[in-house]
């Protein structure tokens, strides 16, 4: 049944992977289910028979592995496995969605349609954003699309070595920026961690390889210490008759790197490389009691840090995550994190959404996960912006950590971290948001821009004289509220239609011109107005007037205003046109703009972005802005080896922690100016108790010179730590 285009060895491997898929499939497997999956398997084998991956392997390996991840790692069933096997058939072969529907039904067809990428479309700013928007929109009808897409992305990341470097950067950046946070929000912790690690491997290979090497070096000693910690704990649990498994878990590489950055600690001083997980075997109705019993036993053995106790059992996270997190002092004088949960909670943590719904017993209770899905569906339903705007707002609202706030009646509401009073008002009802003037937070009067914190009780104050304002967007942190404000502004501006149309006719008659749709379109394009509603409102309120229209439609009669506008607000955006000293021309063929966000210097791993008519933008490959741009504008990412002219100096920033002793400043400036002959842009020193924190920005010629400076500063008397930083 396998075509002869495959070699005998490949046929054997395909069948082996087929059997493995059937073995790890955990849900219902009746005869009809097996028949459908097997049919889809051989259909996909036939459809992809002439295709090979870049590595040279048969393409069919990929859909089989995607289906295996969906079945094993997420726990999905027949429809998802069939859809995963077929997910590239419509995109890469002559078969159509109609063929899929005839053979496998409407549901499978819709899932495959959701997984089929859009082709590049004229006028689309970012095909990546368009495709991500299409995937997210599938939440309104079938979440399996997203779960299979995450399986697809995970296998692509596992096999990314065969891709060219610039493609690796693009795909890894997109994964870190979009797909890993999405996996986290859907409760797929294992997949999220692997996606983050693989992304780090390609966006910052030096850090990744260094951390892997260091983890290998300390694993033995750290594991021995953790085993010493666990032995008395296991004995105590047995003595109290508690059935539980105790595991020692190693943190992912990316998690270690994030902790190092957050705590500003070198690897050697970081002790949270491993943590302990206690999984209780108990009935669902006893879970909470059993977990707190285990915490009581733990705190009897080891001194707890009560400030770091987190109760995600009483208040589960939006993605369904439940666990007690405790931090206790171990025998060796190091803090140890301990997670306490039930087997049901552990399955939800590992397999996310599918396990959550499988374990959900009370269909009358709406969880944070249900609320999150409703927010997504509301956002999809109210979305009218571009795909890039959708991507920004979705990430802003729906990937954020959550806070819990209360209404005056005591109802608890989950909101994204960073939400404001105005966000809360729109979350209650769009009418309340549109007419909000202030709020009482914990019985204290505050403004609309006030940021809320967990535990706040919020009472919104409204006035019918109030109406939604354009500047309110600055007060909002959530996509949901922004979409409601956008709708509110639109409805309010509709009232100005007649007045605006009348003014347009009068102005055009004064100018001796026809008040036609074509002339109106020219004005709207020049002023970047997207709707006639806004056009009429801006006319009625005087923000567009006769002079504005004259400058646009009769530029020969202007006094240079249009020219000045073009220079000031040109392609670089307002106030962001590169200065001459920021532009390099290494080859004489094009300009290069060195990114201020990360200050790359020769020797750094860099990436480049090329936009038509603009300088080549150079970023460090691990720059957060570069990762974000790669996820949006992957088609503009170009492979580049940066070799600027010799003699050019580049700005680099360093943060220095040192003991507060006499002569420190003199020694530092002597090293910079006299010994290394470097030009200093700025130096700031701040005393914090007995420590000095110095921030310096200095011009260097290459990475070797910077590393030499860091080495010499680190060896200087009283200096404790030197780290490279970027300018805010």
Which tens digit of pLDDT belongs to each residue from 552-600?
A: 887 643 333 333 232 222 222 233 333 433 334 344 445 678 888 888 8
Check whether residue 143 and residue 178 sit in a common domain. Answer: yes
Whether the per-residue pLDDT at 619 is higher than 90: the answer is no
Q: What is the rounded average pLDDT of the residues 408-433?
A: 90
Highest mean pLDDT among 150-164, 355-369, 566-580: 150-164
Q: What is the rounded average pLDDT of the residues 366-377?
A: 65
Q: What is the rounded average pLDDT of the residues 175-179?
A: 87
Q: What is the rounded average pLDDT of the residues 169-193?
A: 88
Distance CA 127, CA 387 (A): 9
Q: Does the residue 426 lie in any domain?
A: no
Q: What is the rounded average pLDDT of the residues 178-195?
A: 88
**Burial of 78 from C-beta contacts in 10 A (0-12 / 13-18 / 19+):** buried
Using the structure block, give the residue that is written with the tokens 């969906």: 70
Check whether residue 210 and residue 192 sit in a common domain. Answer: no
In CATH, what number is assigned to the domain containing residue 166? 1.10.3210.10
In CATH, what number is assigned to the domain containing residue 351? 3.30.460.10
Whether the per-residue pLDDT at 617 is higher than 60: the answer is yes
pLDDT score of 214: 92
Check whether residue 556 and residue 588 sit in a common domain. Answer: no
Which tops the pLDDT comparison, 400 or 49? 49
Q: Is the Cβ–Cβ distance between 75 and 57 less than 8 Å?
A: no
- Which of 176-190, 446-460, 545-559 is the least confident region? 545-559
Give per-residue pLDDT as tens, 216-251.
Answer: 999 998 899 999 999 999 999 999 999 999 999 999
Check whether residue 142 and residue 173 sit in a common domain. Answer: yes
Residue 379 banded pLDDT, cuts 50, 70, 90: low
Residue 359 banded pLDDT, cuts 50, 70, 90: low
In CATH, what number is assigned to the domain containing residue 661? 3.30.70.260
Extended beta strands in 482-544, E state? none
Q: Does the residue 381 lie in any domain?
A: no
Q: What is the rounded average pLDDT of the residues 187-213?
A: 92
Q: Does the residue 546 lie in any domain?
A: yes
Check whether residue 147 and residue 222 sit in a common domain. Answer: no
Check whether residue 555 and residue 622 sit in a common domain. Answer: no
Which tops the pLDDT comparison, 82 or 629? 82
Looking at 176, 199, 222, which one is the last position of a domain?
199
Check whether residue 561 and residue 674 sit in a common domain. Answer: no
Distance CA 555, CA 559 (A): 8
Q: Is the Cβ–Cβ distance between 658 and 624 less than 8 Å?
A: no
Q: Is the Cβ–Cβ distance between 699 and 708 less than 8 Å?
A: no
pLDDT score of 395: 65
Q: Does the residue 436 lie in any domain?
A: no
Residue 140 banded pLDDT, cuts 50, 70, 90: low
Cα 230 to Cα 226, 237, 277, 319, 340, distances in angstroms: 6, 11, 10, 29, 13
Give per-residue pLDDT as tens, 72-108.
Answer: 998 889 999 999 999 999 988 999 999 999 999 999 9
**Burial of 424 from C-beta contacts in 10 A (0-12 / 13-18 / 19+):** buried
Whether the per-residue pLDDT at 123 is higher than 50: the answer is no
Widest Cα–Cα separation across the chain: 96
Looking at 163, 184, 199, which one is the last position of a domain?
199
624-632 and 165-174 helices, crossing angle to 10°? 90
Percentage of the chain beyond pLDDT 90 is 35
Q: Could you tell me the residue range of the domain that residue 279 belongs to?
A: 206-359
Check whether residue 16 and residue 152 sit in a common domain. Answer: yes
Which tops the pLDDT comparison, 394 or 629? 629
Q: What is the rounded average pLDDT of the residues 177-205?
A: 90
Q: Is the Cβ–Cβ distance between 634 and 170 less than 8 Å?
A: yes
Q: Does the residue 409 lie in any domain?
A: no
- Which of 120-129, 336-345, 460-469 is the least confident region? 120-129
Looking at 359, 376, 410, which one is the last position of a domain?
359
Whether the per-residue pLDDT at 682 is higher than 90: the answer is no
Distance CA 418, CA 195 (A): 26
Check whether residue 143 and residue 72 sit in a common domain. Answer: yes
Check whether residue 165 and residue 71 sit in a common domain. Answer: yes
pLDDT score of 87: 92
Q: What is the mean pLDDT of the chain?
A: 83
Residue 383 banded pLDDT, cuts 50, 70, 90: low
pLDDT score of 305: 92
Q: Residues with catalytic annotation?
A: 91-92
pLDDT score of 688: 74
Residue 337 banded pLDDT, cuts 50, 70, 90: very high
Distance between terminal CA atoms of the chain?
61
pLDDT score of 354: 62
Q: Does the residue 476 lie in any domain?
A: no
Domain count along the chain: 5
Residue 366 banded pLDDT, cuts 50, 70, 90: low
């Amino acid at each position: 049944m396998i075509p002869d285009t495959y070699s005998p060895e490949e046929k054997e491997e395909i069948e082996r992977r087929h059997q493995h898929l059937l073995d790890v499939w955990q849900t219902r497997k009746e005869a009809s289910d097996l028949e459908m999956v097997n049919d889809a398997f051989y259909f996909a084998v036939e459809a992809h028979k002439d295709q090979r991956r870049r590595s040279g392997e048969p393409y069919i390996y990929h859909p089989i592995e995607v289906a295996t991840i969906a079945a094993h790692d997420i726990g999905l069933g027949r429809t998802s496995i069939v859809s995963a096997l077929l997910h590239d058939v419509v995109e890469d072969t002559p078969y159509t969605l109609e063929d899929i529907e005839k053979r496998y039904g409407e549901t499978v067809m819709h899932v495959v349609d959701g997984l089929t990428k859009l082709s590049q479309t004229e006028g689309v700013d970012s095909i990546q954003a368009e495709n991500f928007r299409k995937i997210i929109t599938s939440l309104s009808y079938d979440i399996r699309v997203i779960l299979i897409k995450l399986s697809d992305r995970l296998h692509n990341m596992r096999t990314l070595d065969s891709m060219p470097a610039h493609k690796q950067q693009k795909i890894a950046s997109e994964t870190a920026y979009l797909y890993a946070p999405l996996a986290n929000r859907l409760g797929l912790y294992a997949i999220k961690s692997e996606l983050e690690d693989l992304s780090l491997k390609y966006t910052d290979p030096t850090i990744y390889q260094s951390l892997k090497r260091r983890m290998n070096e300390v694993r033995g000693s750290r594991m021995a210490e953790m085993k010493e910690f666990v032995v008395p704990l296991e004995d105590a649990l047995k003595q109290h008759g508690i059935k539980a498994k105790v595991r020692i878990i190693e943190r992912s590489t990316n998690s270690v790197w994030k902790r190092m950055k957050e705590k500003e600690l070198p690897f050697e001083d970081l002790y949270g490389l491993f943590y302990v997980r206690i999984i209780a075997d108990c009935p669902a109705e006893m879970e909470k009691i059993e977990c707190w019993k285990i915490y009581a036993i733990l705190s009897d053995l080891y001194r707890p840090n009560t400030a770091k106790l987190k109760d995600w059992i009483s208040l589960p996270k939006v993605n369904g995550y439940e666990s007690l997190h405790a931090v206790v002092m171990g025998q060796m004088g190091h803090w140890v994190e301990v997670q306490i949960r039930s087997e049901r909670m552990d399955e939800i943590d590992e397999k996310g959404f599918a396990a959550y719904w499988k374990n959900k017993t009370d269909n009358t209770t709406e969880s944070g996960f249900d609320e999150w899905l409703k927010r997504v569906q509301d956002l999809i339903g109210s979305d009218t912006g571009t795909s890039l705007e959708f991507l920004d707002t979705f990430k802003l609202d729906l990937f954020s950590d959550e806070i819990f706030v209360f209404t005056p009646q005591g109802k608890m509401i989950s909101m994204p971290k960073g939400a404001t009073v105005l966000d809360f008002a729109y979350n209650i009802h769009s009418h309340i948001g549109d007419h909000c003037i202030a709020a009482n937070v914990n019985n204290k009067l505050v403004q609309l821009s006030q940021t809320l914190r967990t535990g706040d009780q919020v009472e919104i104050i409204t006035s019918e004289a109030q109406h939604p304002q354009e500047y309110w967007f600055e007060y909002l942190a959530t996509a949901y509220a922004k979409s409601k404000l956008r709708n509110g502004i639109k409805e309010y501006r509709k009232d100005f239609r007649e007045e605006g149309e009348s003014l347009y006719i009068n102005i055009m008659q004064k100018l001796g011109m026809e008040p036609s749709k074509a002339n109106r379109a020219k004005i709207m394009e020049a002023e970047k107005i997207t709707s006639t509603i806004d056009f009429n409102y801006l006319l009625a309120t005087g923000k567009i007037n006769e002079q504005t229209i004259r400058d646009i439609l009769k530029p020969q009669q202007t006094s240079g205003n249009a020219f000045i506008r073009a220079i000031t607000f040109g392609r670089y955006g307002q106030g962001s046109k590169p200065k001459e000293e920021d532009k390099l021309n290494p080859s004489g063929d094009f300009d290069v703009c060195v990114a201020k966000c990360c200050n790359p210097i020769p020797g750094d791993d860099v990436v480049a972005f090329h936009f038509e008519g603009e300088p080549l933008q150079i970023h460090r490959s691990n720059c957060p802005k570069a990762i974000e741009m790669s996820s949006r504008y992957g088609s503009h990412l170009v492979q580049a080896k940066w070799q600027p002219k010799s003699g050019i100096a580049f700005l680099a920033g360093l943060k220095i922690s040192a003991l507060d002793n006499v002569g420190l400043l003199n020694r530092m400036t002597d090293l910079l100016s006299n010994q290394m002959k470097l030009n200093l842009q700025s130096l700031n020193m701040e005393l914090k108790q007995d420590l000095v924190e110095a921030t310096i920005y200095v011009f260097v010629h290459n990475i070797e010179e910077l590393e030499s400076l860091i080495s010499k500063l680190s060896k200087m008397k009283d200096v404790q730590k030197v780290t490279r930083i970027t300018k805010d």
